[in-house]
Each structure stands twice: as C-alpha cells, then as structure tokens.
Amino acid sequence: MVTIMLAPCADLCTIATMMMTDDEIARLIRGLAAARGWSESYAARRATGSGDTLDRIERGVSLTMRRANRVMTNIARLWPDDKPMPPSVAAVSASGVAA
C-alpha cells in the first residue's frame, strides 16, 4: 500500500492524506484511458512518464510514494472536465496540488 501525502506548495495549511494501493492507482490510470479515449499505455505514459507502468504494477512492482503522488496529481490534471472524477481523483484536484 502506498500512502500519498499531498500538500500545496504555496501554503501547507491544506494536507490531503490518502491510502491507495498500487492496484487502485492502476485502475485510475485505466479509468483515465477510458475517459479520454486513450490506450492504456498512452494514459500510463501521460500520467506516469512511462508506458509500461501498468505492466510493472501487474508484475508486483510498487510505486514509490513520490511517484504515486505525482501520478495522482497528473491524473487529476488530465481528467476530462466533462466526465465525473472518481472520488480519489476529485480529492487530489480539490487539494490544489500543482502538477
């Protein structure tokens, strides 16, 4: 399980703490792909910087806390405005974390 601590850079008074597994993050990447009409590897590349992230998670490789934080911030930034965000993505978006 990855613990993600998110804090806005400008002011540290808002801190959102989320507990997510790597599998949950993989589901969010797949959800982003579906919401955008992208392939899963393209969504992974946009969210993580690597198209093989989903394959690595499936093989049991875990994300570091720093990378998981960045992935969640990127998913929130990339989520289409006309689609409802999953609650975990909405929490990151509402926290004001900049990508």
- Find out whether 28 and 89 touch, Cβ atoms under 8 Å: yes
Per-residue pLDDT, 75: 93
The verdict on domain 2-8+15-94 having CATH code 1.10.3470 is no
- Mean pLDDT in order along the chain per 10 residues (99 residues): 46 43 93 96 96 95 89 92 84 58
Q: What is the pTM of this model?
A: 0.76
Residue positions counted in the chain: 99
Give the position of tokens 């002011």.
11
- Find out whether 36 and 43 touch, Cβ atoms under 8 Å: yes
- Find out whether 50 and 32 touch, Cβ atoms under 8 Å: no
Count of other CB atoms within 10 angstroms of residue 2: 20
**Which amino acid, residue 43?**
A
Per-residue pLDDT, 91: 73
Per-residue pLDDT, 69: 87
Per-residue pLDDT, 87: 82
Q: Where are the domains of the chain?
A: 2-8+15-94
Per-residue pLDDT, 26: 95
